[in-house]
Amino acid sequence: MRKKRIMVIGPTNCGKTTLVHALNDEDGPIRKTQNLIYGKNTIDVPGSYIENTWMYKYLISAVQDASHVLILVDQSKIADVYSPGFAKVFRCPVIGVITKIDLMPENEDLCIRQLKKIGAADPYFKISVPSGEGISALKEFLFEKKVR
């Protein structure tokens, strides 16, 4: 049986790889993700898989290895890249994550509306990797759920 990992998806530059490093307890340089990268606990998905609808089939295929899907929205730059109800294509739990909460706090309500429109259910996790805010709560939620 293959290990199930947490799939992290979102548009380019929304903080996916930075979050993946935090979830895997890794240090080191962050570089642009060109392909699916299977880490200790995660699957890091390039932004192009979301930004190009013709790549959805690869995303849906790769989700077979996922226990959860994290859908990221960037509070610092609101971009409507997800289709309404997008989360419904996944059979595993979909969790909404708002990244870069230390930037442009006035956009928080827009992010929450976007996550609802996508179909990600509450609770929504609000994180800032540089400050560490929200990371431990997200890890606790994800890794406690995996054990059950």
pLDDT tens per residue across span 93-112: 999 999 999 999 999 999 99
Task: Give, as one character, the DSSP assignment of residue 100.
Answer: -
Q: Name residue, tokens 């690869």.
A: 58
pLDDT band for position 20 (cuts 50, 70, 90): very high
CA-angle at 28, arms to 39 and 35, nearest 5°: 40
Is residue 148's pLDDT more than 50? Answer: no
Cβ distance 70 to 90 under 8 Å? Answer: no
Query: Amino acid letter at 76?
Result: S
Task: Give the per-residue pLDDT at 1.
Answer: 52
Q: Which CATH architecture has domain 5-147?
A: 3-Layer(aba) Sandwich (3.40)
C-beta neighbour count of 131 within 10 angstroms? 10
Task: Give the per-residue pLDDT at 94.
Answer: 95
Task: Give the per-residue pLDDT at 140.
Answer: 93
Is residue 15's pLDDT more than 70? Answer: yes
Task: Give the per-residue pLDDT at 35.
Answer: 85
| Residues 6 or more apart in contact with residue 139 via CB below 8 angstroms | 22, 23
In this structure, of 82-91, 113-122, 137-146, the range with the lowest mean pLDDT score is 137-146
C-alpha distances in angstroms, 63 versus 51, 85, 88, 90, 97?
A: 17, 17, 13, 7, 18
What average pLDDT is seen over the chain?
89
User: Omega before 11 cis (within 30°)?
Assistant: no
pLDDT digits over 28-42, tens only?
Answer: 766 777 789 999 999
pLDDT band for position 147 (cuts 50, 70, 90): very low
d(CA 105, CA 7): 26
Q: Which two tokens stand for residue 105?
A: 């706090």
Task: Give the per-residue pLDDT at 145.
Answer: 55
Task: Give the per-residue pLDDT at 2.
Answer: 66
At how many degrees (to 10) do helices 135-147 and 16-23 cross? 60
